Amino acid sequence: DARVTQTPRDKVTEMGQEVTMRCQPILGHNTVFWYRQTMMQGLELLAYFRNRAPLDDSGMPKDRFSAEMPDATLATLKIQPSEPRDSAVYFCASGTVAGGYNEQFFGPGTRLTVL
Amino acid sequence: SQQGEEDPQALSIQEGENATMNCSYKTSINNLQWYRQNSGRGLVHLILIRSNEREKHSGRLRVTLDTSKKSSSLLITASRAADTASYFCATQQGAQKLVFGQGTRLTINP
């Protein structure tokens, strides 16, 4: 049963610390998305990759956030330095674009709390 | 900003009743998708309807799409307690990203 995995599942850290979240997409999927979900803003797209190349990171605060895909089995989202307003659940999703249509498979999320 | 707007924001019904959720959007789309999110979990894809389709069924789910009104509805028939979740519509404009709405929180009371 193929699924997207994310680590860690929960992270509590103090303001100013670096946070790294990891995602393993489903094998064979060539598109990876990072989302952030909060009660106030809902689900926001931060960045996405196609074949490991970043296609759009316009939703991401560039001064502190960075997203990379070092290889096809790993995507990372890094926050440095973290701030309390970054507290949210961060989801990774992967998919393929077949015939122009894009179904996404979501991971379980990383719940980040910045104190 | 979110393209899809779900209505209602919250819905509470009795088990066995039908639940209807609506989604409106602003721009032309390639397709519209519905996802479910159980508390504390990731989103799960339910159904995709293409812009040239008007209605689609999957089990107890029925989705309609009216591109002239830029709206879609999701009907869950014979609801069960396990259907309690948040439901999101997502629109795809190109071949790339989805834009999600704020969701409808559905509660099925036993």
Query: Which CATH number do you get for residue A83?
Result: 2.60.40.10
pLDDT exceeds cutoff 90 at B3: no
d(CA B71, CA A61): 31
The CB density around residue B3, as the number of other CB atoms within 10 Å, is: 21
Quote the domain boundaries for residue A85. 5-114
pLDDT exceeds cutoff 60 at B18: yes
Inter-chain contacts counted by CB atoms under 8 A, chains A and B: 58
A26 contacts chain B (CB < 8 A): no
Which pLDDT belongs to residue A2? 84
In tens, the pLDDT along B48-90 reads: 999 999 999 999 999 999 999 999 999 999 999 999 999 999 9
Which pLDDT belongs to residue B76? 98
For chain B, the C-alpha Rg in angstroms (whole number) is: 13
A54 contacts chain B (CB < 8 A): no
Which pLDDT belongs to residue B106? 97
pLDDT exceeds cutoff 60 at A108: yes
Closest-CA residue to B78 (of B26, B3, B1, B19): B19
**Domain count of the fold of chain A:** 1
Answer whether B97 sits within 8 Å of A109, measured CB to CB. Answer: no
Q: How many helices and strands (H and E) does chain A possess?
A: 0, 11
Rounded to an integer, the average pLDDT of A44-73 is 90
Provide, as residue numbers in chain B, all residues whose Cβ is less than 8 Å from the Cβ of A105. Answer: 45
Q: Report helix, strand or coil for A56.
A: strand
- Average pLDDT for chain A: 92
d(CA B85, CA A43): 15
d(CA B99, CA B88): 10
Provide, as residue numbers in chain B, all residues whose Cβ is less than 8 Å from the Cβ of A35. Answer: 100
Locate the domains of chain B by residue range. 5-109
B/e letters for B91-109, b = 16+ CB within 10 Å, e = fewer, are bbeeebbbbbbbbbbbebe
Answer whether B30 sits within 8 Å of A100, measured CB to CB. Answer: yes
Confidence band, pLDDT 50/70/90 cuts, at residue A59: confident
Which residue among B31, B42, B101 sits closest to A101, beta carbon to beta carbon?
B31
Which pLDDT belongs to residue B17? 97
Q: Three-state secondary structure along B17-29?
A: CCEEEEEECCCCC
Class of domain B5-109: mainly beta
Cα B6 to its chain centre, rounded Å, is: 8
In tens, the pLDDT along A65-98 reads: 999 999 999 999 999 999 999 999 999 999 987 6
Residues 62-101 of B with CB under 8 A from A: 88, 92, 95-101
Q: Report helix, strand or coil for A102.
A: strand
A2 contacts chain B (CB < 8 A): no
| Least confident piece of the model among A35-39, B2-6, B33-37 | B2-6
CB B86 within 8 A of CB B100: no
B79: closest CA of chain A, how far (Å): 24
B94: closest CA of chain A, how far (Å): 8
